[in-house]
Amino acid sequence: MMLVSRWQAFSSSIFSKMSQLAAAHQAVNLAQGFPDFDGPAVIKEAAIAAIRGSFNQYAPSTGLGELRRQLAARQAEQYGLQYDAASEVTVFSGATEAIFCSIMGLCGPGDEVLTFEPFFDCYPAATAMAGAVLKTVPLRGPDWSFELDDLKAAVTDRTRILILNSPHNPTGKVFSRSDLLSLAQLAQEKNLVVITDEVYEELIFTPARHLPIARLEGMRDRTITISSTAKTFSMTGWKVGFAFADRKLSELIRIPHQYTVFCSATPLQAGMVAALKLGQEYYVDFREQYTRRRDKLLAILRQHGFTCKAPEGTYFITADYRQIRDVPDMEFAAWMTEKVGVACLPVSTFYADAAAAQESLRLVRFAFCKEIGTLEEAGRRLAERLPQALAEPGKA
Ligand code: GLN
């Protein structure tokens, strides 16, 4: 069968590819971002009780009422953002489905979607499925700043959506208040809807602060705020995501959801009701543990010749490896996985023109959502195997 044209630019995702390569070589998988530990037992127990009880049929398409009420309460308490649980909060099968439904609900053929590059891989795929066109504006390292003029120049009369991702995957950037103010002003001037992917909202390291763009004046009613329980509660396989949006926007994004998955898995939604009842001490501990993991991996990487800044948010470190080997990042990531036994991701795959990005970048992404012991094992392998791998003919 021929691939239909809208899929021609896409193949197996880099996350699947690198996880397969890591498994084939028994590498420590710091490529795909998923924790090697589970979230709190109380969440599991609540889902198990839901399965044993009466939560095994379809949930309402928009999500279990109790979960939507908890989500609305949390958004109000944490950020002062008020949403009506019935008409403005929607549960999806993961943030990726929420992003897909938002783009499908708001865009048609020929419409344009604007985002920053590097970007998470589902943005271009969802845009292509809607028949829309993705335009990108670069974030430039090492501090991943952007030029407002680049954004202004990229907006046309077909631009409908700006996709923002903060904290940002893969760079770890947390957009500052002044970044967000300039984006908010642009969105209002050009009448754009902002889809903001905030799945790493709880993965914030002092002194960074997460500010949802919906908080800024004039933004609540033109913003779809998307997040998920996956990272915050360390249950990436449950795929319970959600979106907050004004009633009119919520109506639009609920339609594709209704006709694709209809509803998210009912007992897992019930489990997440328990997650949202966890107190502040959960979040304090969560951030402490992640700060330890981040600092551990940073120290290991720096010790072995990588150049990297501490990320302000997310559970990713992007590391410059040019002092180790000056080869394209695909080659470096495959070599690290096969010869050193530590898998990482080539950052060029987060660019629209990955071939051009490979020429100019020497960056790989490491995930630190792992037990300290796992990170130490990666450190041991770098210490033992990196010198050996570099000593092989033609590798220095
Ligand atoms: N968001 C995670 C990452 O960036 C996993 C993505 C995926 O596997 N699709 O690694």
Q: Where are the domains of the chain?
A: 14-32+281-389, 41-275
Question: What pLDDT sits at residue 194?
Answer: 98
Check residues 78 and 11 and name the one with the higher pLDDT: 78
SS3 for 182?
helix
- For a ligand 1 pocket test, name from 10, 15, 93, 123 the mutation site with the most ligand atoms within 8 angstroms of its C-beta: 15
Taking the C-alpha atoms of residue 42 and residue 272, their distance in angstroms, rounded to an integer, is 10
Sequence-distant (≥ 6) Cβ neighbours of residue 308 within 8 angstroms:
298, 301, 302, 317, 318, 319, 320
Q: Mean pLDDT across the stretch 90-107?
A: 98
**DSSP assigned state of 205:** -
For position 393, what pLDDT does the model report? 75
- Are the CB atoms for 117 and 357 separated by under 8 Å? no
| CB half-sphere exposure, 52, CA atoms < 13 A | 6
Q: Is 33 in the pocket of ligand 1 (CB under 6 A)?
A: yes
List, in sequence order, the alpha helices (H) in 110-175: 122-129, 148-154
Residue 145 identity (one-letter amino acid): S
Across 56-65, average pLDDT: 98
pLDDT the model gives residue 239? 98
Instruction: Kindly tell me the burial class for residue 31, based on how many C-beta atoms sit within 10 Å of its own C-beta (0-12, 13-18, 19 or more).
Output: buried
Q: Whose CA is nearest to atom 1 of ligand 1?
A: 33
The 10s digit of each residue's pLDDT in 32-57 is 999 999 999 999 999 999 999 999 99
What's the pLDDT score for residue 395?
64
Which of these, 336, 380, 386, 382, lies nearest to 362 by C-alpha position? 336
The answer, as to whether pTM is greater than 0.85, is yes
Ligand 1 and 15: CB distance under 6 A: yes
Q: In 3-state terms, what secondary structure has residue 180?
A: helix
Query: Does 396 have pLDDT greater than 60?
Result: no
Residue 168 DSSP one-character state: P
Fold of 41-275: Aspartate Aminotransferase; domain 2 (3.40.640)
Give the pLDDT band (50/70/90) at residue 142. Answer: confident
Fold of 14-32+281-389: Aspartate Aminotransferase, domain 1 (3.90.1150)
C-alpha of residue 218 to centroid of ligand 1, in Å: 32
pLDDT of residue 141: 83
Residue nearest to atom 9 of ligand 1 (CA): 15
Strand order in the sheet with 363-367: 316-320, 363-367, 345-346
Q: Whose CA is nearest to atom 2 of ligand 1?
A: 33
